[in-house]
Amino acid sequence: MLKDITLGQYFPGNTAAHKLDPRTKILLVVLYITALFTAKSFLAYGLMALVLAVCVRVSKVGLRALVKGLKPVLFIIVFTGVLNLFFTPGEGILWAWGPLHITSSGLRNAAFMVLRIMLLIMGTFLLTYTTSPISLTDGLERLLNGLKRFHVPVHELTMIMSIALRFIPTLIEETDKIMSAQKARGADFESGNLMEKAKALVPILVPLFISAFRRADELATAMECRCYHGGEGRTKLHVLKYGRRDYTALALGVLVLAGVIAMRAFGR
Amino acid sequence: MSNMIQTESLRFAYPADEGQKPVYALRGVDLEIEKGSFVVILGHNGSGKSTLAKTFNAVLLPAGGKVYVEGMDTLDQDLLLAIRQRVGMVFQNPDNQIVANVVEEDVAFAPENLGVPTEEIRRRVDGALKAVGMDEFVTHAPHLLSGGQKQRIAIAGVIAMEPACVVLDEATAMLDPIGRREVLATIHRLNQEKGITVILITHHMNEAENADRVVVMNDGRVDLDGTPEEVFSQVARLRHLGLTVPDTVDLLDRLRQKGWDVPLDALRAEDCAAAVAGALEKK
């Protein structure tokens, strides 16, 4: 059951979307999100959906994998949809029952919100699906490099991130082992109400934490033995380089954002 | 002959609880390890062998006495990186020393820290992976490899620093017999082909039989020191220290007690068989 966790899942591939510099992709996602929050008309949302469809097509990530990414946030989508549908004040009441009422602007808002969240999540998932965690953190470090001037510990933060990603499978394996060991001694994780289930997790979390701290200690020693002394003077095996592909992609991204802004300005 | 590592009346104590006397894990160790040699350090749990290993690259600093790495004093803070680059260390649990989630990125970690130029890193990573026989796994995820393979990646990660010496601190203890054989074959090859000094900390007697020198630790001191033949023929002493002897020596020892005329120092299985066959013929 623990194997299903899809945090930062990556589908290896060799498409143009995979080959883009991670920095380009992060910037594109930022542009994409800005455009999504600027969009105020069905035409603009249509354009954004089209952009996403093209990106999905290029990356050859299955549509099913993207839709699966929506599942955990289904509740939030439905919740915001319903809230917007019934509680938006406005003219032209179509239906009313007590404090609940559906207005035409409510209908519009609900549709926009649902569309926005869905496009937002699918777009960001596309980033993690086509970018390996290591190049993602690499790109992030390089993008945020300027913040070092303001004493933001950029290298340390990205190092923490990549080590956390590295240890997810190790810790999942460990959790499985501890659970098996507890089950073998008669622990019960399945029955009981929510409270009881949560209580049953405590004997798993305690040894897991202790072992995680021990691991961290050993890892720190091993890193120091391999001459780790912070980000200063570090070189890289893979140096990130912008290519023509990256400039083209960024130009297209800016163009789409400009288009959406123009649509909003002209009220379409 | 020049020394890779030299210790002078080395003492070390782990910090004790308040009000209690510190317990010395090392109580005066004088050891000289020659360049290019293959040294096995044996000892039962708590004999100080792992503590000793950790003083070799300044993970632990002496509380008394000195440790010199190629003449560099480990107490000198300015020499820390230079010392760690010369003496690489491989630990027991392979999972807890692999930093990255791609094999090549992990092997590149040490040269990246040392500020080696990118093309040179590439060369070192490929060279190190080839040296441990893992060059097919360049882009694999380490957590999907076997224990022996992971430990070879960890060795490659150390080799990529181009050290003069590799210390393996019970690096085979968590491995299955196949993994252990892989790792031992790898380090013997590194010792012979690249002339890297190997210091192997272990409690498996059989891993010592092909070494140049065996050092037995007991209670924070060096108890026996010599060639495998010299050390393992001291059967009574080893047993007194709570250590088993290799199966071959055990057999020869029992035959001798029965009055057979066999040598005690035929360590390898073939030598042992020849010795027994020779004695049989004489009978």
Cβ-defined contact of B93 to A170 (cutoff 8 Å):
no
- List, in sequence order, every residue forming a beta bridge with B29; answer none if it has no partner: B10
ipTM of this predicted structure: 0.87
At residue B259, the pLDDT reads 84
Q: Which pLDDT belongs to residue B282?
A: 79
Q: CA B190 to CA B41: how far, in whole Å?
A: 18
DSSP β-ladder status, B64-69 and B72-73: antiparallel
Q: Which residues contact A197 (CB under 8 A, 6 or more apart)?
A: A189, A190
Instruction: State the best of B57, B96, B123 to mutate against chain A, taking most chain A CBs within 10 Å.
Output: B96
Cα distance between residue B89 and residue B100, in whole Å = 17
- Select from A42, A165, A130, A54 the least CA-distant residue to B102: A165
Predicted TM-score (pTM) of the model is: 0.82
**C-alpha pair distances (Å), A180 with each of A3, A184, B230:** 15, 6, 47
Per-residue pLDDT of chain B (283 residues; tens, 9 = 90+): 588 999 999 999 988 777 778 888 999 999 999 999 999 999 888 889 999 999 999 999 999 999 999 999 999 999 999 999 999 999 999 999 999 888 999 999 999 999 999 999 999 999 999 999 998 998 888 888 999 999 999 999 999 999 999 999 999 888 888 889 889 999 999 999 999 999 999 988 888 888 999 999 999 999 999 998 889 888 889 888 888 888 888 888 889 888 888 888 788 888 888 888 888 887 7
Residue A28: predicted pLDDT: 95
Q: What pLDDT is recorded for position A8?
A: 54
Q: What is the pLDDT of residue A2?
A: 47
If phi > 0 it is left, if psi is from -120 to 50 it is alpha, else beta; for residue B202 that is: beta
* Rounded CA separation B32/B30 (Å): 7
Q: What was the pLDDT predicted at B158?
A: 94
Interface of B with A (CB under 8 A): 57, 59, 81, 84-85, 88-89, 91, 93, 95-102, 104-105, 108-118, 121-122, 125, 141, 143, 157-158, 161
Nearest CA in chain B to A223: B97
Inter-chain residue contact B59 with A221, CB threshold 8 Å: yes
Which of B89, B96, B111 is nearest residue A219 as measured by Cβ atoms? B96
Q: Are B239 and B280 in contact (CB under 8 A)?
A: no
Cα B96 from Cα B93, distance rounded (Å): 6
* Helix A74-87 vs helix A104-130: crossing angle, to nearest 10: 160
Of B47, B46, B57, the residue nearest B197 (C-alpha): B57
Q: How far apart are the first and last CA of chain A?
A: 47
C-beta neighbour count of B258 within 10 angstroms: 7
Q: What is the pLDDT of residue A1?
A: 40
For B18, half-sphere exposure in the C-beta direction (CA atoms, 13 angstrom radius) is 0
pLDDT-flagged residues of chain A (< 70): 1-9, 268
